[in-house]
Structure formats: structure tokens, C-alpha cells
Amino acid sequence: MVPQRVAPIFEEIGARLLWLLVPGECRICGASLIRLSRIPVCAKCLQPPEPLSAEYFCVCCRTPFLNAAPLDEQGRCRLCRQGMRGFDAAYSWGAYEGRLRDLIHLFKYGGIRPLGKVLGEWMALAMPREERFDRIVPVPLHWVKRCRRGFNQSELLARAIARRYGMPVSPLLRRVRATAAQAGLSHSARRANVEGAFRVRRGVSLEGLRVLLVDDVMTTGATASACARALKQAGARYVAVLTLARADRRPLAATGLVQEAA
């Protein structure tokens, strides 16, 4: 008799073997798949979505805005003017919505690890070609969440970026305490939730180095800021953030549900 705690493992293996034998349907649009692949998504849905675009961006954090009102003469938003961002620059490929959001969910929660290479190649396109870095660091998961998920999605994305720069991924950050889910929290609550949650591994010095911090999604930037502060405390001279997608709050700002400058 198979122990109860082992049975789900055999069920997952059986499901994956069945997928290899019978392609089934695209997990994004539902179209019939015509070839075997480790990624259960059709060729159409694996085409890169449109990059995030806006007429007005903050020059530092690249937050999109409806108009220029939240920006100062240098093009900085309120948070960047007040020094509330721990990082120096931020780049993202697309908006966290539609097909890109579905693919990220399939990657993270559906356990489709091979998607990391495809998605990582897209996000690399968002990085200016002239940028150079000494370290590429993924945002870490708490060890409990990593054990449950089986992998850190940010680390898999970072590997694709690292190939572009010809350097290994450097998992230098630790998440020293579990935090509540950020979803549904205000910006100030998000900052408080992750404050002090990250530390650079003991004995690591980043003195004078340029660091690229990699994550899958940026919402308010609170997690990225907390990580960047930890990296700078270890001596990093410059920290840029690269994410696959970022939450676009302009539709909510247009309805008055959120303050656009926040």
C-alpha cells in the first residue's frame, strides 16, 4: 500500500507522463496542441506580448503615469524624490495582465519550470544594452515557501539573464523571516511587511559593485526596495531591478480608486 503522503508524488509523475504521451490543450487559450513539448502552451501564446508602454514614466523607477503631474522637473515620481526607493533603476518587460499574467501563474503555480527560459529571454529585452553588472541576484523565497513550490521562480529567470551577461547567478540574499502575502496591502503596509526581511549572506562584500536584482513581478516595488537596501548595506554601489512584469495602476488611477502618484 502506498503511504498517503507519497501518493500525490506518484499522481504528479503519472500526470506528467500522460502529458508527454498526449499533448492535450494549451493551458492558456485552450487550443489543441499539435506537438509534444515540456511547455503545455501553443506557439501563438508563446509569442512575446506587447512591452509595457506609456507616454509618461518616472525616469528612476519606470512607473507609468497617465500624465506628467506626478513627476518633477527631472521626471521623478514622489517616492523617488523622497528617497523611498532602495534601488537606482527599474526595468520591466510587460504589464502584469492578460496573457503575460496567465503565463507567469502557469510558471509559478503550475510548476512549468521550462517556461523560465522563455520568460527570461523576454525580460532580457527590457534591459538597455549598455548596462553592465558585476552580480546578478535573484529575489529569494523563504525556505518554507521554496520547499512547497519546489523552486524559486526568480532564480530560474535570473539564469536566463545571466546567460546574456556570461556570468553565473549569485544567490547572495537570504529571506530571514516569513512575511504575509503582499496582495491587498497598501503601499505603506507593504513596506512595513518586508522591512528587514532580507539580508546578504554572511561574509559577502559587494563593495563598489553594480548589482542586477531579478524578480518576476513588481507591484509597488516594496520588496525590490527592501532587497536593494540590503545589497547596498553590503557595499553595492548601484542596484537596478529587472522584472518580467509590473502592475499597471493607471486604469485604477483613472477611476480614482488609487492615487496615481503613489
Which residues, 6 or more positions from 3, have their beta carbon under 8 angstroms from its beta carbon? none
Q: How many domains does the chain have?
A: 2
pLDDT digits (tens, 9 = 90+) for 163-180: 888 888 999 999 877 665
| β-bridge mates for residue 148, sequence order | none
Residue range(s) defining the domain that contains residue 37: 1-47
Q: 146 with 189, same domain?
A: yes
| For the ranges 24-28, 209-213, 253-257, the one whose mean pLDDT is highest | 209-213
Q: What's the predicted TM-score (pTM) here?
A: 0.82
Q: 65 with 137, same domain?
A: yes
Residue 235 lies in a domain: yes
| For the ranges 60-64, 140-144, 145-149, 157-161, the one whose mean pLDDT is highest | 157-161
Which residue carries 503613489 as its cell? 262
Residue 260 lies in a domain: no
Q: 43 with 70, same domain?
A: no
pLDDT digits (tens, 9 = 90+) for 101-129: 999 999 999 989 999 999 999 999 998 88
Q: 84 with 115, same domain?
A: yes
Q: 43 with 68, same domain?
A: no
Q: 176 with 231, same domain?
A: yes
Q: 35 with 138, same domain?
A: no
- What does the DSSP assignment read for 119-180? HHHHHHTTS-TT---SEEEEPPPPHHHHHHHSS-HHHHHHHHHHHHHT--B---EEE-S---
Banded pLDDT at 249 (limits 50, 70, 90): confident
